[in-house]
Amino acid sequence: HFENATMAEENDRFAFIADWYDAAAALVRKFALMYFPRDGTVELVDMKSKKIFLKRSKVDGVQLENLFIGASLNIHARQLKLVDFADDYTRRSFGTQRERAVVLVKQADLGACGSIITQLTAKGLALVAARLGVIAPSDAEELIGTRDSPDFATLVGQLTDGPVLALEVLGVGAISIAGGIRAAYASPDTATAAHQAELAFGANSVVQPTPAFENSTLCLIKPHAVAEGNAGKIIDTIVGAGFGVGAIQTHTLDTASATEFLEVYKGVVAEYPALVQALTAGTSIAIEIVGDADVQQKFREFAGPTDPEIARHIRKDTLRAKFGRDKVLNGVHCTDLPEDAGLEVDYFFKILA
């Protein structure tokens, strides 16, 4: 149990244990992270020295729905991972109120996958993971679990006749909310959901991506857009514009990966350090956009100018005009040059996969 570092009453804040890898010292430092829901502020305390590391203040991107065990948070250029609850009150509160659910969108309903994601996030659920791929019959049977259901054979067939989008969501009433989505299969209970999440998103995932790796380009929905509940709307907009989707996969980039991916912009774009920090701020969604030989150019035009303010004036129907906030938090990253399209798709669907 971690002793309170502030004078706040216990029920005024939630406390977590967070790990931060200090590359300079080559060691993991542990912090107690306190989140105060009344005003959305955060405080960090070094658990070894018991000294306040970050005074209570607001941190962009840290919200109640983003707090769960396993979550990665970017706090002033440091990427912290929540590894445990720091007190019994937080453990009880999150254990009884927040639950996870797995949602499987069948091939016949993939055209509505953006709408389904929006329905889930609009009801307060956080999108934790997403993965588009094919599932073998034996894996589908284990994923569903309940063989005594009269729809078991039908559901196995639906999950194995083409690509399936697996989603993991977290929040209050997740099982009930996910179960209300008619166009998808959802976990019937929390125990099943935990098993399904491991099967779908664990190290040996049964959902096998099938990227085209040809006539394709990359769209990366940035963490701020995911946290703001815009991921489903962005996917809907992309599909509605006639672009094909070959693969979808969530990633939580660490600083090294984000730096490597954006290295081409180093020394070229003034916002480079902020761009790296923005990509490590939480969950991002990599999408392989497929089409004709000129799909990279077409999608880059569809994404719009990097500055959303300019986009809203001259290209108001583009993704960045609709979902961007500024030149760094501009909704999506897209491949800038035709020769980089294959490299960027490979990075997310081969190297990081």
> Closest Cα to residue 226, out of 98, 130, 348?
130
CA distances from 44 to 70, 79, 85 (A): 17, 13, 14
CA distances from 89 to 7, 12, 31, 55, 85 (A): 16, 10, 18, 22, 9
State the catalytic residues: 333
CA pair distance 234, 323, nearest whole angstrom = 8
> Closest Cα to residue 319, out of 302, 342, 343, 337?
302
CA pair distance 277, 312, nearest whole angstrom = 25
> Closest Cα to residue 185, out of 207, 164, 206?
164
CB atoms within 10 A of CB 11: 9
| First-to-final CA distance of the chain | 37
> In this structure, which amino acid lies at residue 274?
A
CA pair distance 32, 21, nearest whole angstrom = 14
Burial class (CB in 10 A: 0-12, 13-18, 19+), 54: middle
CA pair distance 320, 164, nearest whole angstrom = 28
